[in-house]
Each structure stands twice: as C-alpha cells, then as structure tokens.
Structure 1
Amino acid sequence: MKISQLKVTTPYLKLDLVFFDLVEPTPLKKPFLISASKDAAKLLGVDEDITKDEKLVEILNGTYKLEGSKTFSMCYAGHQFGYFVPRLGDGRAINLGKVNGQNLQLKGSGLTLYSRQGDGRAVLRSSIREYLMSEAMHGLGIATSRALALIGSETDVARERWEKGAIVLRISPTWVRFGTFEYFKAKGEHDKLQKLADYVIDESFAHIKNTEGMYAKMYEEIVRNTAITIAKWQSVGFNHGVMNTDNMSIEGRTIDYGPFAFLDDYEPNYVCNHTDAEGRYSFKNQPGNAHWNLQALALAISPIINHDRALKILEETYGPTYEEYYLNIMYEKMGLYEKDKKDIELFKWMLGSLESAVIDYTRFFRILSRYERDKKSILEMAVYQTPLSEWLDAYDKRLEKETLSAQERYARMLSVNPKYILKNHILQEAIEKAETSDFSMIEELLTVALSPFEEHKELEHLAKATPMSAKNIKLSCSS
C-alpha cells in the first residue's frame, strides 16, 4: 500500500469543539522532498517505498488530503518554566487523522488558532533536527514520536535571519499532553476532564478500560511510563531542554524536539537551552522536573481522581520505577551482571570520575565495552586522568566477580552502549550542508540513527570526537 492510499479516521473530533479547531494547512512555495523514513512508514502499514509515492510531497504540504482526513489543531495549556499559561495549543502543528494506531501531524504547516504571536512555520534547521532526532531516539529504544518525512521549500521565514520553511510529518500513538488536562482544570470544566480521560484510556491504556478505579490506574500508567523514559534519557545523556507540561506526552513519550542535546563531556549541570537562564531544565534536573510535572498533572486531574490518592501513587511509583530502570541500565552499560550491593558506590564513583576527568560520555562507554584492563584506551580521552585511573583500578577488581567470558561481556555491553549519537556538532554540519542544497548527510545520519549500536564502517566519521569549540553548546528555542 502507498501512503497516499491510506484511509484515516479522526476520533479526536468526536470530543467537544473546545478541544480543537478545524484548520487547513497553508502550503509552502515550491516544496520538495528532503528525506523519508521507510522504517517509520511501516507503522502505518505502508509496504511500498514511501519516497516513490508521487503524492508524498503534496501530503506533507497539505495540498493532498488522505481519505477521511479532517485537519485540526489541538488546544491545551501548560506550565512553561514553572509558570502557568492558560491557553497554548498547536501553534504550528496540524493533525491529519489516525491510521493503524498512529496520529499523523504536520509541523510547520502554517497559522492556527493557537499560533499567538508566531507565524505557524518551522525552518529547515529545526525541522532537520526534529526529523533526525525522532528516529534516533527510536533507534536507542526510547519511547518517542516518530518522523515520517521532511520537505523543504522556497518559502522565506523570518527568525534571527531569513531562513527557508520546512515541514515534518510526524506520527505518534497520541498527541495528548499533561497540559491538555491542565487546560480544562483551569477552566473549571470538569466534565471535559472526564471526557478527556476516557479518550486517553481508549487511545493509550485500553487494557484498563472499565476496570475499577481506572482513572487512578491511568495516572499510575502515566507516572510509570514517564519514569522509564526519563531513566533512559539520563542513561544516554539526553537533555530535552524544554520540559514544560505542554511538552510532556500523556504516554510518557519523548515529543517536541526543540533545543535538545546529547552530552559531549559528562557535565551534569549542562543546560542546552539558551533561554533557560536559571538552568531549570539542566541535564541533572530532568528526573526532578518530571516529578514536578507529574505533580501538576495530579492537581489537574484532581476533580476525577482524589488528589491525595494521586500523590500517593506518584510517591510510590515514580521514584522506585526511575531508580530501578536507571540503575539497571547503567549496570548493563558498565558490564556488571552479578549483583553486588557495593555496585551503587562504584556507579556513583564512576559518574564523579567522569565529571572530574572531563571526558566524552558516549565514547567512554563504547570503549569501556571492549575494555581489557588497558587503561590507555580510556585515559587518553580524558583531560584529567587521575580520577578515572583510580576508578578503573576499582572497576578491574569488580570485574573479577563476573562469570561471563570477556567476549560475552563485550557483546552485551556493545548492545547497550551506542557508537553513534546525534550530537549537536554533527547535526549542525548536516544543517549547513542542507542550507546549500546538499542533503546527503541527512541520509547518512538517518542510517546511523536507526541502528546506533552497529559499526557502519563506511560512516565511521559520524562517530568522531566533538571539537573543543563545539562541546556542550547551548541552543535557542527559535525554530
């Protein structure tokens, strides 16, 4: 089946009119296809080469409607950097409909009712970043929205400079956010809260439908999924940058890729968002921010779930789930499979050593995956070697307790320690080439994004060390 042959439904439009606004996309001038993810297309049941569908560009540009499609934007509120904004909504995103359990959405497709002072557009650089990072997070095994395709255009868009407009067709099992619930709580429309909860259960948590206490169970699912996703973020060194409640998926998925970054050197205080002057959304603060956002959600749903009960669920579920998943992943990354109560001390020591040593987080774990007690391979990457050298002495002793052969340990560690991470300096290189109409690097990055644990000998250059001038830089929200 071709993508242009898909038949979509619009179950969200069965909700009251206040939940959404019907709006038509505003086409870009002279649109052209930049890239498409055949892997993401499989989620829609598309079995033909998506790039060969003559209607693909028109679908992304909003000039060809899929059968059954009624285009709309969604309304929601949100806490932005801790301050409540009563109405936000899809300011530049327009939904096309749902097929095969996936909601199709155009980002950068023009003005909506919720655009406020914006223009409803997205520029090429931010669209490239979202397109590639959506697929990269999936490749890393982290719950995320996906990106189906990316188009460029000749439409001029004003940001800090004039740039070209682009559109990403992204897909997700849901686009409901924490802020969607906050919107109706703030308006005092508690009947709408319950309708929204019923919709969310139908769409995302059907296994608890019509069970006793299903709204409390829904909240518990949200808490658990969020904790797991944040644990995975921390394990790979991902900094989201804008963890506002309107950017938090009700399924715990990673959505809305703005000024994100992966750590270069291990720097827990790193803040990737230039707008975040106070460091609210620093890398180390992400677990706490997620907890704060879940508290805000507990308050938002308090008309349908007893607030004290929700907070009890939060305290009993979030911390234990996060700690269990995070430590298990990190022990796997360290190659520790035999249980030892002292491993937590070794783990904390390792993080402290990495910070003191000034060393690339991703490359450290990849090289550790083939570590044969030859410190040189690791220490030569560090600016300050002594802290890491002392830790490696303790690590050597700990490995003596492992029963796996060295080769078995290497194989398991290589399967959880990615070689390819889409760091900002690599993405920037691809963007600069794209701005000269050279899109070849986007295809290379898509390849490694979807299989980051493999070697890809021909793409070895994409795993190169970050230049000193580009380490742990900050990005703006402008897109």
Structure 2
Amino acid sequence: MPLAIAFDNSYARLPPRFYERVRPEPAPSPGLLVLNTTLAAELGLDPEALASPEGVAALSGAAVPEGADPIALAYAGHQFGHFVPALGDGRALLLGELIARDGRRLDLQLKGSGRTAFSRRGDGKAAVGPVLREYLISEAMAAFGIPTTRSLAAVATGETVLRERPLPGAVLTRVATSHVRVGTFQYFAHRSDVDGVRRLADYVIERLYPDISGSDAPYAALFESVVQRQARLIALWLSVGFIHGVMNTDNMAISGETIDYGPCAFLDAYEPNLALSSIDRQGRYAYGRQPQIAQWNLARLGECLLPLLSDDRDKAVEIVVERLSGFAGKFESAYFGRFLEKLGIAQERSGDRELVTELLSLMQVGKADFTLTFRRLANLTDPDADTEAFLSLFGGNAGLEPWLTNWRARLATGGRSPAESAAAMRAINPAVIPRNHQVEKALDAIIDGSDGAPYVRLLQAVTRPFEDRPEDADLALPPRPEDRVMATFCGT
C-alpha cells in the first residue's frame, strides 16, 4: 500500500500555467541512504513508515504517496546576469504540501526524480554526491540557526546517471517553507502576465507574509518584507563564511530561506574575494559580493511588481527605489549585529563596528582561518589567557595585541563576566563547519569506496556545531595546502 501523507496542496490550486503536472520516474531499486528522523517527527511523519519499503518507494519516486499532486513549478531567472525566460523545475517536482506540528505549511519536494516539462536537454536525475552534499550542508545551516530548506531523506535509485563519468543516482527529499523564487515572478512578468504576477503575489502574502495582508499597500509591503528577510539572510551567510556560489534569481527564495546548494562552499582563510564555484569564472558570486548581488536580485523582483504598485509607472519605480534603498541599512544592521555577537558584544555602541572591521582586516592580511579565529577568540575573554593558539592563526602577528586590548576593554563594559562572554561566543561561533575538503573526502569515500562512515561522522559533527568534541578535533581544522579544495561543482 502506498505511503499516505496528509497533504493540502495549495500551489496546485493555482491556475495551470503556474506549473506542469508530472509523475516521477520510478527508481528501479531504491535504497535508503539517510533519513532525518528528527525532522520527520517535526513534520508529523512516522520515521518508521518512511524507512519502510513503502516509504522508501515514495521518497525515491518509485511510488506516489496518497494525497500527493506532483507538479513541476514554472519559473524564469537571471543566470550569471543573463536572463533565461523559461527554466522551471527541470529535475524536481513538488509532491505536495503538509502542515507541520507547529502549524507551518511546508513543501515536500523530490529532487532528482526524472524529467519534467522544464528539463530541456537534461535527464532530470541527480547523482548521489550532490544529493548527499545538499543534505549535509542544508542540515548544517539549520543547526547554525540560518534560514534554509531542509533535507528529509536521501535515497539511492539503483541506476547510473552520466555526468563527467558514470555515477550512482539518488533522490533528495527537500522540505521548504515555499519554493517560490524571484524567478517565479520573472516568469509571469516577462510574459506581461500581470494577472499571474498579482495571483502569485497574493498567494505569497497569504502563505508567507500574512501579517501584511491588511496593509493599505500590500504589494509594497511585500517587497519591503522580502528585502528585510534577504538582508538578514545574507548577513547570516557571511557570519559563518558561507559562499552560495550560484546566486541566480531563480535561486533566491521569496521566503528568505537558503535554497539550492550546488557549488556552495565555506571560507577557510578569510578571503573576501573568494569564489570557488567552477562555473563562476568572473567571481560574480564571491563571498564579499553576495550583499550586492542580493540587492541586484531584489531589483529584478521590484521590476516584476511595478504594475501592482501603481498605475503610474514613475510612481511605481519610486516605490521600488525607496524600498530597495533600505537594503544597505538593513543588511549592515544585521551584519554588524551578528558579528558583534560573535565578538561577545550584546548591545552595539559607538566604535563597535570598527572592532569588527579591524579584526577582519587583520584576518585578511594574516590569512587567518575564519571559523577558528572566532571560536578561539572565546578562549581569550580572560585578560590572563594564553594567546599563543589564537595568534598562531595569524602567523604570530604581534599587531593583534592592540586589537585584543581594545576588545577586552569593550567586553569589560558589557556587564558580563569573562566566563559569561566566552559562553555566549561559543553558542554562536561554530567549532565545526562543513569544511570543503572534509565534505569532498566524505563524498569520495561513498562514491569510490562505498564507505559511508566518514559521511555519517561529518553529518553528526556539523549538526552539533557548537560542541567541542575531542573525537572531532580533526574535522575542525583547516585543510593542509595539498588538501585545499580549489573549485566546487554544480550537480547538474
């Protein structure tokens, strides 16, 4: 009997031009790779049922759960600055929506389940490496407290997909607050389908921003709300050294969640201009450029909303420009607020931002490891603490001493004891992140050696990122020069 899930599929009740109905391609020999039992319980799903043959069949596309209404969503997008009018879910389908235990409406999507109407020349399939990569990194981001899509399960399909070489196939079951993107609005705006833009905006307001539904200017309020969420999201990305790698408008979710973990990476040494994605040859989506790109993407959303904002185009443009101009202030407030927390400072005062910028400058010059710098700094809240391990990250740079003196003096005015400051810093600065080289090693062990132990160990560590566990000490270290990942790759 097929798995039954209490779906309530609101997006599938929109007009047919918003999607294409599609059936997943049956996986020939599905096998469970990893199941997120904690998330399953939060969703009100039975982990044992999901791990059963019927559950694995549903998670692989071999069977469609009762109540599902599989659809591939239509959207367009700017890819590396170039507009593509028709993209859509080329290797994914929305099984349906469910209501979690906390009342949230969430999408349940299969990624890698076969061709759709939007696949173009692709096979619609996914290889096991990208699937397990997204599972691991999205769950790490959730553990960091960063808004993100989640991963419920990864299932091997038992078939081979052809990429640079033959690879085992897999399907990811992704959970999201919504899969509506900036590119979804662009799809209708490009076709001069104002009714489509309006219906989509009304849907997004009702589902994602219900607090603005009674606004006198709901579409302007929607745009401002999306600007606010994106500003905060990008600030959080930067606070953990995250590089998305492919910030196309079709990869910016209106919900404010991180979505699509293709060629993403994390900083080792602090390099603001670092871009590791193999397809980002010009560094458009480098770590330090992500705020500007987010604002550019939001401008594209604003263009789509113009007909809804005013019948007077000049007035509509004025509304967009005014709301968009607030992005920089919102981002800076979120960015410095987060980085000051990383420094143990709870309430911002005049001069605090200079502490952040001075430290980052020292890190860049000293090629200091981003994650370890902030984690080890928590050991130095006591003025008598040994600074050797911290200074070693900067090559023993004695120029750090004045900064440390100023930072400790500022902490002393914050009303916390050194121990309290240290505890607060350890609660926000991860000890372990998905280091690029460790991710690649874990995936290679599965693909080339059928050894899942390194992956399981890394997954357990990055989903408990604020714990100092001696057995995971090697996972916290930056790579040796010969182990450093020089490029990351998209899974298509």
Q: TM-score range by the shorter chain?
A: over 0.9
Cα distance in 1 for partners of 2:278, 2:395 equals: 26
1:182-221 to structure 2, matched below 5 A, reads 182-221=186-225
The answer on whether the counterparts of 1:32 and 1:152 sit within 8 Å (CA) in structure 2 is yes
The answer to whether residue 30 in structure 2 is matched with residue 20 in structure 1 is no
CA deviation string 1:4-48 (max 9, x = no partner): 332212211221211101111112332211101122213321254
Which stretch has the larger CA shift, 380-389 or 236-245? Answer: 380-389
CA deviation string 1:234-293 (max 9, x = no partner): 111100000000000011110011100010011101002111111110000000000000
Which of 309, 321, 324 aligns to 1:311? It is: 321
Q: Measured at CA, do residues 204 and 9 of structure 1 come closer, stay the same or move farther in structure 2, by a change above 3 Å?
A: same
5+ residue gaps, structure 2 = 100-104, 310-315
The answer to whether residue 162 in structure 2 is matched with residue 149 in structure 1 is no
Cα distance in 1 for partners of 2:72, 2:250 equals: 14
| TM-score, scaled to structure 1 | 0.95
CA deviation string 1:281-311 (max 9, x = no partner): 0000000000000001000111112232122
The answer on whether the counterparts of 2:60 and 2:157 sit within 8 Å (CA) in structure 1 is no
| TM-score, scaled to structure 2 | 0.93
Look up the match of 2:375: 366
Look up the match of 1:9: 8
Cα distance in 2 for partners of 1:398, 1:429 equals: 41
Which of 432, 442, 448 aligns to 2:461? It is: 448
The answer on whether the counterparts of 1:366 and 1:414 sit within 8 Å (CA) in structure 2 is yes
Q: Measured at CA, do residues 28 and 49 of structure 1 come closer, stay the same or move farther in structure 2, by a change above 3 Å?
A: closer
Which stretch has the larger CA shift, 9-18 or 118-127? Answer: 9-18
Which stretch has the larger CA shift, 467-476 or 421-430? Answer: 467-476
Look up the match of 2:106: 102
Which of 328, 351, 364 aligns to 1:355? It is: 364
5+ residue gaps, structure 1 = none
Matched residue type, 1:395: W
CA deviation string 1:308-327 (max 9, x = no partner): 212211213x2222111111
Look up the match of 1:321: 330
Q: Measured at CA, do residues 274 and 209 of structure 1 come closer, stay the same or move farther in structure 2, by a change above 3 Å?
A: same
The answer on whether the counterparts of 1:356 and 1:384 sit within 8 Å (CA) in structure 2 is no
Q: Measured at CA, do residues 136 and 50 of structure 1 come closer, stay the same or move farther in structure 2, by a change above 3 Å?
A: farther
Matched residue type, 1:332: E
Look up the match of 1:410: 422
Which of 140, 147, 153 aligns to 2:144? It is: 140
The answer on whether the counterparts of 2:60 and 2:156 sit within 8 Å (CA) in structure 1 is no
The answer on whether the counterparts of 1:43 and 1:102 sit within 8 Å (CA) in structure 2 is no
Which of 163, 166, 186 aligns to 1:162? It is: 166
Cα distance in 2 for partners of 1:52, 1:189 equals: 43
Look up the match of 1:287: 291
The answer on whether the counterparts of 2:2 and 2:64 sit within 8 Å (CA) in structure 1 is no
Q: Measured at CA, do residues 11 and 400 of structure 1 come closer, stay the same or move farther in structure 2, by a change above 3 Å?
A: closer
Q: Percent identity?
A: 37
Cα distance in 1 for partners of 2:465, 2:79 equals: 32
> Following TM superposition, by how much is the alpha carbon of 1:387 offset from its aligned partner in structure 2, in angstroms?
4.2
The answer on whether the counterparts of 1:265 and 1:361 sit within 8 Å (CA) in structure 2 is yes
Which stretch has the larger CA shift, 229-238 or 49-58? Answer: 49-58
Matched residue type, 1:417: N
Look up the match of 1:422: 434
Which of 231, 240, 246 aligns to 1:242? It is: 246
Look up the match of 1:460: 473
> Following TM superposition, by how much is the alpha carbon of 1:147 offset from its aligned partner in structure 2, in angstroms?
0.3
Cα distance in 2 for partners of 1:63, 1:159 equals: 22
Cα distance in 1 for partners of 2:421, 2:238 equals: 22
Which of 168, 172, 176 aligns to 2:176? It is: 172
The answer on whether the counterparts of 1:338 and 1:403 sit within 8 Å (CA) in structure 2 is no
Matched residue type, 1:153: T
> Following TM superposition, by how much is the alpha carbon of 1:466 offset from its aligned partner in structure 2, in angstroms?
1.8
Cα distance in 1 for partners of 2:50, 2:56 equals: 9
CA deviation string 1:336-360 (max 9, x = no partner): 2464312222211111100011111
Cα distance in 2 for partners of 1:95, 1:156 equals: 23
1:455 counterpart SS class: coil
Cα distance in 2 for partners of 1:88, 1:368 equals: 45
Matched residue type, 2:240: V
1:365 counterpart SS class: helix
Cα distance in 2 for partners of 1:414, 1:210 equals: 41
1:268 counterpart SS class: coil
Look up the match of 1:118: 122
Look up the match of 1:432: 444
The answer to whether residue 61 in structure 2 is matched with residue 62 in structure 1 is yes
CA deviation string 1:35-93 (max 9, x = no partner): 01122213321254466433221012212222211111001000111111111000100
Matched residue type, 1:359: A
The answer on whether the counterparts of 2:435 and 2:478 sit within 8 Å (CA) in structure 1 is no
Matched residue type, 1:312: E
Cα distance in 1 for partners of 2:335, 2:371 equals: 16
Q: Measured at CA, do residues 158 and 383 of structure 1 come closer, stay the same or move farther in structure 2, by a change above 3 Å?
A: farther
Cα distance in 2 for partners of 1:384, 1:210 equals: 58
Cα distance in 2 for partners of 1:397, 1:412 equals: 17
Which of 381, 384, 388 aligns to 2:400? It is: 388
The answer on whether the counterparts of 2:377 and 2:390 sit within 8 Å (CA) in structure 1 is yes
Cα distance in 1 for partners of 2:85, 2:347 equals: 50
Cα distance in 2 for partners of 1:337, 1:382 equals: 26
Which of 166, 181, 184 aligns to 2:185? It is: 181
Q: Measured at CA, do residues 425 and 17 of structure 1 come closer, stay the same or move farther in structure 2, by a change above 3 Å?
A: same
2:307 counterpart SS class: coil
